Structure 1
């Protein structure tokens, strides 16, 4: 394996639609998948004493005291372990219709009170958080709902899943052994922490059906939502952890649907009226396979991501925005002394391009992609230009070629489908057939 270049020899990176990202001591200054700082946890359920622990008066007193003081369940569990070491795993999760907001799960405990005061409801069991608004800070759902398969040891993660850069392979990763110096007596001081390497004994491939840790329930799916709550002042995002495949799978469908309707946008409010997403819970019958291999259905409260917005309104706003951007761009050209003739009018002349200019993945000056960049990406995928240009005019409006945001959205869609050109061509043809019918 070739050694990685030194930080000083790495070139500057240009992100689409953004400034040049220069390498720094700790990596590139701008990252396509940002790590959002978090300022508190909202939990999906509660923990209760096991039947055996509930029979111990001291354990019951510690549990009740912790709840009254707003302690996190991790703190309560540690207190139980110290006071009652004979009780192994004294707390068990319980599925409930509300979310848990506890003061000690926030660096600023006042935030928990603010969230409950602003969005809590009393449905007969005290003031609880059943449904609350959220906004997401980025358009990449992978950034606001990171998830992985992971095996945890006593201190840290032992194994975890990562996808390859092309998205085709899921790798099983682990920490590299800490190297020792030439004497073999001292470990080498590492810069930036331990390195991650593919796991050797399974070839570095994550295959749950063949994984002993997964089959023994030591490796599990974990994920979390990262969001801001309107009305709660915090520069850091809040997080909501979940292990539910159904919740995450349904959320992905919601993210993709909204992004499709909004031209790839997820961040911020959904419309001009300030409509946010909502997180709530819904009682569903969830199917799973028991130890005897039989399908079993059990009721569960599953996290649900809602987007309560009028779809027609989203589509109208998309058209309105494209029209405004087109008019503004044409006006700017006129003010700069350029004639708004047929050569700069969408739909005139550009469709006659037979050989699109090949383009790199990004512009050299950090500006949004040009039309040549978009057509170059299209040519690399092998999608017919004439067919796609008709699709693009329907998808983003006739002015998409003139305004930078329109070209950015078109280029972003091509980027998302670059590993599945045949599937994308089928999508384009299906959209055109639907419009024609």
Structure 2
């Protein structure tokens, strides 16, 4: 077993701050683009616009910068650039706060496939979190020229999709100016559609103004950057296939997708595959198939070796539990060796109080044992943390088995990741209960 794959102690209570307890966001250090943008037929017919486009490419300007320059000079041209599907990824210096990163990526993983141009066709990545929703955020979004107008967002029940917008600015009637806000602009459900996102009845979606928008967030091995990188895509097929890969790998790794895939330091890879995809013809409504370069997430790992590695880790953990039992640290439940509870005498503090974890409600069973302390190891630490947050063990088990698979408690890394997730809710027990209700339904 990896010597670093050990269960960490439960983190101390997270204090509230002036900025609240918002979900952690992974900072990014630039964009790798899925394709390129070219001049539309109407724009390409104008020599001056073509000169602006060529000059922008020569000076490594981003496509947004090129489009903005064209719009400033030729305001009557509404859409000067259009996306073009190509076999490679675009890496341009101006898409990075540190432009040198673009050169480092191309130098490490770029290829010349016979046309004299070094391009990025395939590159390795590792993901910084285990929840695929965190490393592949996506939404339906409608953009104006300068900002996002509407976007989709699920309610706490995880079932209702809302159509959201920024709240109008509040005006101080006495001073006749906008009220200064703290913490950014407020949001609200869109009033025109009662705040419900229904693409088939949405005029913006039907007019192709509102579209699926997603991005991958990752690190690139060998590229030194504290911030992650991002790759945007609007492809339903690319995002759906990536979810399949994420879920398959997580199932075989005890809920993990972060980091390298195995002991050989195998990463994921991004590449592109030419695939035929179907869509409905806008005029006839009939399905039409056409070829497109689709982003493909590869996991070139030996599945048998990966599963064997998990078996070894599970066996080692069982052996470790048995060793502790022989040393008198664990009192197994009668007739149920798989459901043991660790019994540790915890000294009282100066006031005679025992730790909060030992005061948690115990799960009824054929034998009564002390609840695990806050610094217990293994799955006991998870249950201790859940007790501190006021979640019954049976309820916590149901949620964790649904979210991480039943194997989390038999895998040291799985336990470590579950602990990290619960630790984020310390000081916000109600938030955890709402999250569990949204994922597996309210408690009956």
Deviation at 1:338, TM superposition (A): 2.6
Where do residues 233-248 of structure 1 align in structure 2 (5 Å cutoff)? Answer: 233-248=224-239
TM-score by length of 2: 0.76
Specify every segment of 5 or more residues in structure 1 that has no aligned partner in the other structure, as ranges. Answer: 1-15, 358-362, 423-437
Aligned residue among 33, 42, 46 for 1:56: 46
Equivalent-residue separation in structure 1 for 2:200 and 2:194 (angstroms):
15
For residues 367-393 of structure 1, the C-alpha deviation after alignment (integer angstroms, 9 at most, x for no partner) is 74228969945468989x9xx9xx95x
User: d(CA) in 2 for partners of 1:312 and 1:145?
Assistant: 27
Structure-2 residue corresponding to 1:228: 219
Q: CA deviation at 1:111?
A: 0.5
Deviation at 1:400, TM superposition (A): 2.9
> Per-residue deviation at 1:192?
1.2
Q: Partners of 1:293 and 1:169 in 2: how far apart?
A: 28
**CA separation of 1:182 and 1:204: change in aligned 2, threshold 3 A:** same
Match of 2:297 among 297, 305, 310: 305
Please say if residues 369 and 408 of structure 1, whose CA atoms lie closer than 8 Å, have aligned partners that are also in contact.
Answer: no
* Structure 2 residue aligned with 1:139: 130
| Matching of residue 325 in structure 1 with residue 338 in structure 2 | no
In the TM superposition, 1:64-213 aligns within 5 A as 64-125=54-115, 126-183=117-174, 185-213=176-204
> What is the root-mean-square deviation of aligned Cα atoms in Å?
3.7
Q: Look up the SS of the partner of 1:27 in the other structure.
A: coil
In structure 2, relative to structure 1, the CA distance for the partners of 1:345 and 1:23 (3 Å cut) is farther
Give SS of 1:34's match: coil
Matched-pair contact (CA < 8 Å) for 1:369–1:411: no
- Is 1:370 aligned with 2:360? no
Partner residue of 2:16 out of 23, 34, 58? 23
SS, match of residue 226 in structure 2? coil
Q: CA deviation at 1:309?
A: 0.6
For the 8 Å contact 2:256–2:414, the answer to whether it is kept is no
Q: CA deviation at 1:96?
A: 0.3
Task: State the TM-score, normalizing by the size of structure 1.
Answer: 0.77
SS of the residue corresponding to residue 325 of structure 1 reads: helix
Taking structure 1 as reference, are residues 276 and 62 closer, same or farther at Cα in structure 2, changes over 3 Å only? same
- Name the SS of the counterpart of 1:40 in structure 2: strand
Shift of 1:326: 3.9
TM alignment of 1:249-268, pairs within 5 A: 249-268=240-259
Contact 2:237 2:294 in 1 (8 A): yes
Number of residue pairs the alignment of both structures matches: 386
Tell me by how many angstroms 1:354 deviates: 9.2
Instruction: Indicate if the aligned counterparts of 2:363 and 2:393 stay in contact, CA closer than 8 A.
Output: no
Q: 1:364 to 1:174 in 2, by over 3 A?
A: farther
Structure 1 residues 248 and 184: alpha-carbon distance in aligned structure 2, compared to 1, 3 A threshold: same
Alignment CA distance shift 1:407-1:136 (3 Å):
closer
Who is 1:432 aligned against? none
Cα distance in 1 for residues equivalent to 2:232 and 2:414: 34
1:96–1:340 Cα change, 3 Å: same
* Displacement after TM superposition at 1:343 (Å): 4.6
Whether 2:392 is the aligned partner of 1:400: answer no
Report the Cα offset of residue 47 of structure 1.
0.9
SS at structure 1 position matched to 2:237: helix
Question: Quick check: 2:155–2:162 contact (8 Å CA) kept in 1?
Answer: yes
Q: After superposition, what is the alpha-carbon deviation per residue over 1:275-308, rounded to whole angstroms, capped at 9, x for unaligned?
A: 0001111111111112221111111111111111
Corresponding residue of 1:295: 287
CA separation in 2, counterparts of 1:113 and 1:404?
Answer: 35
Q: Which has the higher contact order (CA 8 A, sep 6+)?
A: 2
Give the gaps of 5 or more residues in structure 2: 1-8, 342-361, 367-371, 423-432
